Amino acid sequence: MIRILVLAVALATLAACAMPPPSTGDEVQRLATEIQTLGPDIDPEEANRAARIAYAYTAQLADAYQITDPPLIHNAKVNKGLRPRGLCWHWAEDIERRLDQERFQTLEMHRAIANADNPFRIDHSTAIISRKGENMYEGIVLDPWRYGGVLYWAPLPEDSRYDWVPREVVLEKRRQEQVARLKPLPAN
């Protein structure tokens, strides 16, 4: 019984530490302003719309995914079938798909993966918004998974927590590794 109580206290402490600070209410405008700074040709209405959708859709997904725990605990629940979605790649896929529905003329979405080459850490996926025609490295990370359904965003060069690699590069490398593993051994 004491072990269970200690475990419960430890999990509660972990959950409290993993939760982000409360919002200040101006995040949407700050994100819109940051998107606008991606280039002089960014349509201000598109920047505002992208920021509003990123925050509103994150909240909608948090509800749909039944987020009640920090990300890693929620991941365990998804993997055990106790929650419908909410792995990082679900967030990235869904927010990218939603923002792509807007058919922005001055903005573009990208996907990235971090930790793919690190056997001691789990892969982490995110969506990135950039100026149309720019690569993801000039964009802004949109990561609703990191704080369990609260949108984290930052210009990619300022996101020192992860070393982001274009998703298509990671997937191609994995495909090549799989092909190499399946190649028959040469006959003697």
Closest among 102, 99, 101, 80 to 91, alpha carbons compared = 99
Whole-number average pLDDT of the chain: 88
Identify the sign of the CA torsion 84, 90, 91, 93: negative
Model confidence at 99, pLDDT cuts 50, 70, 90, reads very high
Cross-strand partners of 109: 129
Q: Return the pLDDT at 121.
A: 86
**pTM score, whole prediction:** 0.82
Return the pLDDT at 120.
Answer: 83
Residue range 143-171, pLDDT digits in tens: 999 999 999 999 999 999 999 999 999 99
What would the pLDDT profile of 64-81 be if each residue is shown by its tens digit? 999 999 999 999 999 999
Q: Which residue has the tokens 């927010």?
A: 95
